[in-house]
């Protein structure tokens, strides 16, 4: 199954995306996280495309999506969701399952709240919506949220460093022999582009809006009861397993699978996650 690479103009943004599978098959929309892009799905897409139309865009400020500079575009999660919402409209995606990871979770949950009738199922891979899912490592970000001073902004810059991306985001909690250097090397390169660091610091500040919306996300879950699978790297240093288990509070039928890996679970467990997704989604979407 080949993967095609496209762009779609959405207002002032040119969204890059990967696509595979039959155009008439049920759609799975893959939403990546920080600091990566749709490249993170390179192994998962072919595994899903035998039964599904798989679409994986790069969010504004990430990967190959071309978006205006700071000042001409407001880098907030509301705006990321708005662009992806318009992207789905442009592609005429009226029904889709969501796979959300990290930053993709608050982006995707905003879509789900806006269009609950469109969402056929949700797979959350270390995509958090509960306070108990936040580890103790969030201290500098939380300080910046409370007091957005230049000093506190600067203290968050370490989150963008090559060492943090490689050693903390990718390798911590994972078997390093199973983690290809391609992913973190590419993400580190993305971060060196002019203006990329300031865009990411803007989004770090706005991440507080996601935490503030957790009660709204949870209300959506309770009201609409979407079929839900959490496939969670249990050694994630940022989003701990309690965040996966918490989904059952609002989604009693949620399936929770804890995997022996870290934050970027697809780097080591793409095949396992693909199998979990087929077992979960096929009876819902292919019946």
Residues labelled catalytic: 263
| CA–CA dist 245, 124 (Å, integer) | 12
Both tokens assigned to 149: 């001073």
Strand stretches in 13-165, DSSP E: 13-20, 27-31, 53-57, 96-100, 119-124
Both tokens assigned to 142: 């939380």
Question: Which residue(s) pair with 20 in the sheet?
Answer: 54
Cβ atoms 85, 111 nearer than 8 A: yes
Task: Give the other-Cβ count within 10 Å of 222's Cβ.
Answer: 12
Task: List the strands of the sheet with 96-100, edge to edge.
Answer: 4-10, 13-20, 53-57, 27-31, 96-100, 119-124, 228-233, 255-259
| Residue count of the chain | 287
Give Dmax over CA atoms of the chain in angstroms: 55
204 DSSP 8-state letter: H
């Amino acid at each position: 199954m080949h993967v095609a690479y496209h762009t779609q103009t959405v207002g002032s943004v040119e969204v890059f995306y990967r696509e595979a599978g039959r155009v008439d098959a049920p759609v799975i929309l893959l939403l990546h996280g920080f600091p990566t892009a749709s490249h993170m799905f390179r192994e998962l897409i072919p595994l899903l495309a035998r039964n599904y139309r798989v679409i994986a865009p790069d969010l504004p400020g990430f990967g190959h999506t071309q978006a205006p500079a700071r000042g001409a575009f407001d880098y907030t999660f509301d705006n990321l969701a708005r662009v992806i919402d318009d992207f789905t409209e442009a592609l005429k995606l009226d029904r889709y399952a969501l796979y959300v990871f990290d930053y993709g979770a608050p982006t995707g949950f905003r879509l789900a709240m806006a269009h609950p009738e469109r969402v056929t199922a949700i797979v959350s891979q270390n995509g958090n919506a509960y306070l108990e899912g936040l580890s103790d490592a969030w201290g500098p970000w939380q300080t910046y949220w409370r007091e957005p001073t230049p000093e506190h902004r600067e203290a968050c810059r370490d989150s963008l460093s090559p060492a943090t991306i490689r050693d903390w985001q990718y390798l911590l909690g994972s078997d390093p022999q199973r983690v290809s250097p391609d992913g973190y090397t590419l993400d580190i390169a993305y971060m060196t582009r002019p203006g990329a660091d300031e865009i990411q610091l803007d989004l770090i500040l706005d991440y507080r809006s996601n935490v503030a919306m957790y009660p709204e996300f949870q209300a959506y879950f309770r009201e609409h009861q979407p079929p839900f699978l959490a496939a969670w790297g249990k050694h994630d240093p940022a989003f701990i397993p309690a965040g996966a288990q918490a989904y059952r509070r609002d989604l009693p039928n949620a399936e929770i699978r804890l995997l022996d890996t870290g934050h970027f679970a697809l780097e080591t467990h793409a095949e396992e996650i693909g199998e979990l997704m087929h077992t979960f989604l096929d009876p819902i979407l292919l019946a």
